[in-house]
Amino acid sequence: MIALSHGHSDHYAGMTAVLEKMGLSPQAKEWGESVSQGEIEQLITETQIPIVAHPAAYRERWLKKEDGTLVGPFMPPPTREWEAVGAKIVESAEPYKLCQGCWTTGYVPRTSFEKSGRPARLLYRNDSDFMPDDLEDDQAIVINVKDKGLIVLSGCAHSGIVNTVRYARQFTGINPVYAILGGFHLARATDDEITRTIESIQKEKPAYVIPSHCTGFQATSRIYQEMPDEFMEGVVGATYIL
């Protein structure tokens, strides 16, 4: 299964190529005249791989500059293209069970102080109207590791990494947080927001904190300085044995 973190192109641009390499499309074959629709559907669907995303991931997005100029459109993910090479589109605004002990979060409620992941100048076009884009599609993967607790794997944490961790505990009913890794979207955060984020993460008492992607150098270096025992470097291709 594939979980799409959100509908920004830097998180989905390689999807078609990945699906093509997986060779999921059914091969044409000969059928007898008595073939049923069910048999045909089974052939088509049995090799498909689900792509699980929030419905808002498929928005046409825009940016409003400080002088009021609009930049766009940033087109939505090409779902028909994905389906043509073997994907099954699964939309869920709620937590979605990928397998035993593993979920996507769906929409993450925004209850904390975090703001940097959701700039006010983001818009999406709904029919002919421009609407504020609060990035409702942002989601993470949550894994319950037996006898250890939750691993929270964020893609970008536009919702806020603190909100994401809190919601993971809420909907799973599991309190211990074992590891927090992924993008924390603090590259453009203020010093105050970085400080409050680190303080909130420290209260969760995770064994490991692994910032990457959009966390930014300043926030990453401060996490290392203030949580040296929990910090691990987030790098492409790494395998973590936690």
pLDDT for 77: 97
Name the DSSP letter for residue 207: S
Q: What topology is assigned to 2-226 in CATH?
A: Metallo-beta-lactamase; Chain A (3.60.15)
Non-local CB neighbours of 222 within 8 Å, separated by 6+ positions: 194, 195, 198
Question: CB-based burial of residue 226 (10 Å sphere; 0-12 exposed, 13-18 middle, 19+ buried)?
Answer: middle
In sequence order, what E strands does 47-162 have? 49-53, 61-64, 70-74, 87-91, 96-99, 102-104, 122-126, 129-132, 140-145, 149-154
Q: CA-CA distance, 11 to 152, in Å (whole number)?
A: 18
What pLDDT shows up at residue 64?
A: 95
Q: Where are the alpha helices (DSSP H) in the chain?
A: 9-12, 15-22, 37-45, 79-84, 161-172, 191-204, 217-226
3-class DSSP assignment, residue 132: strand
The domains of the chain are located at 2-226
Q: What is the pLDDT along the chain (242 residues), one digit of tens a residue?
A: 999 999 999 999 999 999 999 999 888 889 998 999 999 888 888 889 999 999 999 999 999 999 999 999 999 999 999 999 999 999 999 999 999 999 999 999 999 999 999 988 999 999 889 999 999 999 999 999 999 999 999 999 999 999 999 999 999 999 999 999 999 999 999 999 999 999 999 999 999 999 999 999 999 999 999 999 999 999 888 898 87
pLDDT at 27 (0 to 100): 83
Q: Report the first-to-last Cα separation within the chain, whole angstroms.
A: 22
Position of tokens 């090799």? 47
The residues, ordered by sequence, that sit 6+ positions from 103 with a Cβ below 8 Å of its Cβ are 95, 96, 97, 141, 142, 171, 172
